[in-house]
Structure 1
Amino acid sequence: MQLMLKDLPILEINEDGKCKVLDFDRLSFPLRKEKISFIDFVEWASNRTLSLGRSFAKEILNTLRLSQTNRYAVCKACRGLSLEDCYWLRQDEDEKQWEEVNLFKTPLSLFITEVSLSGTNIHYVKNEKEEIHTPELTTLGASAKGWIRKDGNLYLHKVGKYEIPADQILSALNIPHIHYKGSKSEEIDSYLSEERKEWIESTGEMIVNSKLFTSESISLVTFEDFCIFCEIYGLNPYEEAVKIDEEAYLKIQIADYILNNNDRHEQNWGFFMDNATGKLTGYCPLFDHDHAFVDYDRVMSQTSEKERTLYEAAISAQKELQLELSVFENMDCPEFLSEKQWVGVLERGKKLL
């Protein structure tokens, strides 16, 4: 078996499980060490696949008749292909090239998107030669979501109305982030039944979408993967994160406090990697805010090395940045926020002035 970066073999695993590094500089960050064990490789491959904590994960796996306990087997079944990067697994009998398996360009299986967003169990009969070709098995996160191609671009559709007001607030603060918009009826109709749409609306939620922010040139390196790399070399990941771009790092602290976001875990922020060189190029814009605007105080920061509340982390960051926060004075309450939630945003902004 080979670990590929597009058409470039970068790691070879023989029948005995011995790993041979072919291109160290372009290995995935958690694998960047001189001696990689088979256990290291299996752990890396397993972590690429969706967890059972994701909405409708069981339904996705059941539809494709895949294991719910063996994430490594799931990874091999879909070649480990992801839209976060261009790594994939080519087994010995596999003669495919990158252009044939490339998720960025090749057609996706839309029925899996329906399962991913609706939880509908579909009776799917796969013929012997048909292969699993979907990014849904390697799309991380807990919310119901699915990928749709439109006008030559890929969009992630997900259940999460709070992405819309978070987008407006971060835009006002001039903090780099991924933009979201409400999905149109004709888009939703292609993968959701009327019953499922009505159920989502009855819960007060909605389907939103964002354009894919990675490409065949640029990959996402999550902070989780960056931490594994830093541990290998005895580095402090938080100190290294500051070295990469201190301003971007501090803006995360302010953004999460203003939004009262309790879900900035290690897979929800990170960096961009240039696929040609394997080098980090800077921070990825902020994304995934569907769990923002929680209704309790003293939310703990997940991006600080020391144990701090979001407020404590933001106060420290604002002393350095002096970010312009008076922008809220001219803003109306964003759509989908209650008056109470908006007052909370305004109050948090005033506390940082």
Structure 2
Amino acid sequence: MILKKRKLIVYEIMHMEKAVASISLTGDARILDERFMPYDLYLEEDEDNDIDTRVNNLDNFYHWCASRVLSLDRKYAKEILNSIGVSQAVTDKDRANISLSYHCVSLTDVYWVKKQEEKITFAEINLYDNPLNEAIVEISLRGHQMTVTNHELAPDLSTKGCFPKAWIRNEQGFRLLKDGGEAVVERELLASEICQCFDVPQVRYRKYMYGNEIVSESDLITSKKYSMISKIAFEIYACNHELDTLEVCKKLDPITYYGMNILDYLTGNTDRHPENWGFLIDNDTNEYVSLYPLMDFNQCFLAYDDLEGANCQTVLPRKMTQREAAVEAVKHIGLRQIREMDMSRFRNMKKEAEMFSRRILELKSV
């Protein structure tokens, strides 16, 4: 009996139309253009056939691919996965296989993956130029199941967060719709109005009616020109280049970094974890040029019972309350207020209105 030798699968990590690295399923990696490697993917070339190096390469590759698919705690995740006919993914490898099924395309950057022999281009599959199936909105926002392809689901599978959300596109470009219930949506809209009273780069959230229900709407900040990478993903790059991420933030973009601490304090935002802020990348050079505009305010007014607020997540490993971090921020960049908040926008949220007034006075006194 003659056994037919199986062809070894080799994946190429692509940056637009450029192959920047390759990796086989034995963990043999080749770096083709180190300047354009993903910030959060570390691969090591192995000339000595070292098993540990190859295992690490595969683990890192699967983890990177898995990071480009949805979090399984996100509402309707099961419905989305059921709609493409896959099991509930548990391991990085399971999740990576889902991501690889649609070439790991994303709306956060211009990376993607293909098998070495595949004849396919970025122009053919990127999400910035190619049409989306509008039916995906029904799955992502409402959990309605239907049969769709993995590629059609790609933009929603690669959207982070635990609240229902979906990308839609019209003549003006992409817009993100976020649900979560009327109270959650109203909190995000109110927090966005507060933030717009300050000269700090930010995503603006607007009211949008989807069917008969209110959702928030915002614009896409990435493009074929600019990508984004989260702070937690940047930490991988920083670790391998002996950089202090917070020092990079303060030096590169003090307005956005310190402004984030001011606005999170004023709005009582409890959700500024390291996947909820990060860096804007110039795709022509693959260099980080600033922090990306502040976004995601649907967890605001939850730590709003006193002046101190919650523990500040953006100064770790230091321990500071949100008030302490905001006071420090004002000392560095000023308050940057450009207009007064229309207090009538708080409507029946009298307790929140009172706390906002106290917090803004606290910062004005710095």
The 10-residue stretch of structure 1 (253-262 or 339-348) with the greater mean CA deviation from structure 2: 339-348
| Cα pair 2:12 2:113 within 8 Å, conserved | yes
| Cα pair 1:170 1:176 within 8 Å, conserved | no
| Cα pair 1:222 1:271 within 8 Å, conserved | yes
- Identify unmatched segments of 5+ residues in structure 2: 1-10, 46-55, 180-184
Matched, 1:265 2:285: no
Structure 2 residue aligned with 1:10: 20
Q: Can you list the C-alpha shifts for 1:203-244, whole angstroms capped at 9, x where unaligned? A: xxx311111110001000111111121122332211222121
- Aligned-pair distance for 1:155? 0.6
1:344 corresponds, among 344, 355, 361, to 355
2:57 corresponds, among 37, 42, 61, to 37
Q: How far apart in 2 are the matches of 1:349 and 1:158?
A: 28
1:1-353 matched pairs, under 5 angstroms: 1-31=11-41, 35=45, 37-69=57-89, 70-122=94-146, 124=147, 131-132=151-152, 134-159=154-179, 160-184=185-209, 188-189=210-211, 197=212, 206-294=214-302, 295-297=304-306, 298-305=309-316, 306-325=318-337, 327-328=339-340, 331-334=342-345, 338-353=349-364
Q: Indicate the RMSD between aligned Cα atoms, in angstroms.
A: 2.1
Q: Can you list the C-alpha shifts for 1:118-174, whole angstroms capped at 9, x where unaligned? A: 01222x176xxx854530111111111001111151111111232222222111111
Larger Rg belongs to: 2
Structure 1 residue aligned with 2:50: none
Give the aligned residue type for 1:333. Answer: S
| Cα pair 1:25 1:32 within 8 Å, conserved | no
SS at match of 1:13: strand
Change (3 A) 1:318 1:302: same
| Cα pair 1:227 1:237 within 8 Å, conserved | yes
Number of aligned positions between the proteins: 331
The 10-residue stretch of structure 1 (142-151 or 313-322) with the greater mean CA deviation from structure 2: 313-322
Change (3 A) 1:18 1:337: farther
Q: Can you list the C-alpha shifts for 1:30-58, whole angstroms capped at 9, x where unaligned? A: 12565571211111111121111111111
> In percent, how many aligned pairs have the same letter?
30
Change (3 A) 1:132 1:321: closer
- Identify unmatched segments of 5+ residues in structure 1: 190-196
Give the aligned residue type for 1:7. Answer: E
Q: How far apart in 2 are the matches of 1:169 and 1:337?
A: 16
SS at match of 1:267: coil
Normalising by structure 1, we get a TM-score of: 0.88
- Ranked by relative contact order (alpha carbons within 8 Å, sequence separation 6 or more), the top structure is 1
The 10-residue stretch of structure 1 (73-82 or 330-339) with the greater mean CA deviation from structure 2: 330-339
Q: How far apart in 1 are the matches of 2:259 and 2:348?
A: 22
| Cα pair 2:198 2:338 within 8 Å, conserved | no
- Aligned-pair distance for 1:98? 1.0
SS at match of 1:11: strand
- Aligned-pair distance for 1:337? 6.8
Change (3 A) 1:182 1:22: same
- Aligned-pair distance for 1:181? 1.0
| Cα pair 1:156 1:212 within 8 Å, conserved | yes
Q: How far apart in 2 are the matches of 1:91 and 1:50?
A: 22
Q: Can you list the C-alpha shifts for 1:284-313, whole angstroms capped at 9, x where unaligned? A: 110000111114443111100201111111
Q: How far apart in 2 are the matches of 1:313 and 1:131?
A: 42
SS at match of 1:20: strand
Give the aligned residue type for 1:293. Answer: F
Change (3 A) 1:336 1:162: farther
- Aligned-pair distance for 1:336? 6.5
SS at match of 1:113: helix
The 10-residue stretch of structure 1 (253-262 or 13-22) with the greater mean CA deviation from structure 2: 13-22
Change (3 A) 1:125 1:50: closer
Change (3 A) 1:285 1:337: farther
Q: How far apart in 2 are the matches of 1:112 and 1:207?
A: 16
Change (3 A) 1:135 1:64: same
Q: How far apart in 2 are the matches of 1:66 and 1:53?
A: 16
Change (3 A) 1:11 1:332: same
Q: How far apart in 1 are the matches of 2:85 and 2:113?
A: 20
SS at match of 1:134: helix
SS at match of 1:71: helix
- Aligned-pair distance for 1:182? 1.2
